[in-house]
Structure 1
Amino acid sequence: MNQRTYLDHNATSPVRPEAREALLEALDATGNGSSVHGEGRASRATIDKARGRVAALVGAPAGGVMFTSCGTEADTLALTPDFHRGETPVTCDVLLVSAVEHAAVLRGHRFPAERVEILPVDARGRVRPDGLDAALDRHTAAGRRALVSVMVANNETGVLQPVAEVARRAHAHGALVHSDAVQAAGRMAVSMPALGVDLMSISAHKLGGAPGAGALIVADPDLRPAPVFAGGAQERGRRAGSENVPAIAAFGAAALAAAAAVEVDAARINGLRARLEDALRCEFPELVLLVGDVDRLPNTSCLALPGVPAETIVIALDLAGVAVSAGAACSSGKVAASHVLGAMGVPERIARSAIRLSFGWSSGEEDVDRALGVFRRVLPGLVRRRAAA
């Protein structure tokens, strides 16, 4: 079988060697981190070491890291009306989310539907400051505190949001701010203090860790969201249930490796993406590069072949040995119209043809070479069929 080319790192990245080694070492150990005997203390030390490494990846305090099972759970944990700062209750009356958020934010929150407001975005998928200000002014005037959630980078287009500006405007109204940094952490420099957010979600398997671990990070360790799971005192009482020590150990190792290489990898991967995009646009003028003129993740391309369904393109490339995706990878394998592109006002004929290519830490020049070869074989046939339809 011909070697396959994997261009779907925004769905999941291959496990880094350092993470695999940490995972296997933790699997060979025995002990519950809540136990007081030697094995339990060793397990606790493994968790705490990983906690420090994950915190360092985004410049946060280690005490602010709460391990979860995934990024979706981290978002759900964050998006609650009920918080405590120390012993003082902090209540958020409304949730403001951008129209291009991941489904884990749009549907994974714990607010009643009538207390959720969708913030509009511009044609490039960025939150509109006038829409944010209008919503904050309205709720503040009515005596309501908002929780605002705006992602760092979009999972479908890679577009970067003005999170620091969002946080500044929101904090001026007494709001709390959460950011889903699942796609950004480990792929670009992410500083929680520089962004100024109160809460941030990240995920292990997006940056080369093992599936089964995520984290919600709070800038102030005294700020506690109401737990999703009630039970034991794990994670300082913020998330009950025995920790997944092997996945957490791998998460820490992946975070350490990603942090050490993030600047070099970002530049290298940006070069791979630029080379692929330039060649495809030169050879196939029919292709539309969406949001190519705005700041975005260095690894992500969103391309469309108008008139050809995205599912057809994805399947044709897959059969030829190239893995790409259409939309988000959390829809049970279904390819549907993108709510992200819809919110941006992209015409339906283009939106329904959009595919996502995403590079990662393991990508190299050979991936670009093989992908270009496959596109040259596959796309002409799709164009001919479109013309004949």
Structure 2
Amino acid sequence: MADHYEVLGVARDASADEIKRAYRRLARELHPDVNPGEDASERFKLVTHAYDVLSDPEQRRRYDLGGDSSPFGGGGGAAGFGGFGDIFETFFGGGGGGARAGRPRSRRERGQDALVRVTLELGDVVFGTHRDLDVDTAVLCETCQGSCCQPGTSEVTCDICHGAGNVQRTVRSLLGNVVTTQPCATCQGYGTTIPYPCATCQGQGRVRARRTVSVDIPAGVETGLRLQLPGSGEVGPAGGPNGDLYLEINVAPHEVFSREGDDLMATLEVSMPDAILGTSTSIQALDGEVELDVRPGVQSGDVLTIKGRGITPLRGSQRGDLRVGVHVVTPTRLDGKERALIEEFARRTKAPSPRLAEFHQGMFSKLRDRFRNG
């Protein structure tokens, strides 16, 4: 059987601090959560047992005098397996909030995160918006201020575990006496009890209530994006720190505009005479009226771009563009005079003449006026 000092890699006259530092270094290397190999697991058991023996002055004295060095023999049996519990204190600094290695649990814990879904109009996305949100959540109990106790009273030390939060039991087995540590059933591992719980919060230190959260939603957000508000979630038990609040954004569809990146998209219907001769019109954008020039000869599918009238990006200041797609509307119902004009135009475009351009302008001016005047 390997010598305990050799297992830990220390001299026989090593101090308690040197033994502890050697154990921590080896535990970081060999712990099953870090190194799952079988060899590492066996070495970890040996290292843990060696530390249990050498860290206890009485066991170390007996070992130096030639006592049993086996991890499964005599009093070492309990120590060899008990080391798995001790490592949470030595290596990880405590067992994840539970009552481990003599440390009681804390009643004060961090609160849970909360999620709120917010629906915005497309116009809110252009420059950002401010919202006051009513949130149903856990807030600090005003009666006990998070102490969980009725005013004028306080917690008392548990008379079963004497404040340790856990109790130890010795079980005799084939491997020897095994010491197990379990949370105290009387105080639930807290080390203290509350004889007189607060009547308002039932000893929780918090109550359910509705509160208002003010938030500035930046420009450029989009559906599915989550904004994090640190410390705006639920207050923790016993007045613990608040969790975070997450806002999940949903942008409602707009009847005119759609979004493509930081650009706004829209469709403009143009009559056939206006498409041929050109026109000027105004359209109502999300942030005001915009003048738009339609050039002569515009085609269906052409895109007219108005710079800087789109959405302000989430990270930046240069706004996107407003892009207007043209849809030329072809008349489907013509009276006799209108049909005659179209037919005349068709004939003349097939047989160009020196006066064709002048004819085009005169005829389509009349045609456009007739369409507009009904």
- TM-score normalised by length of structure 1: 0.20
Structure index of larger Rg: 2
Indicate the structure with greater helix content: 1
Indicate the structure with greater strand content: 2
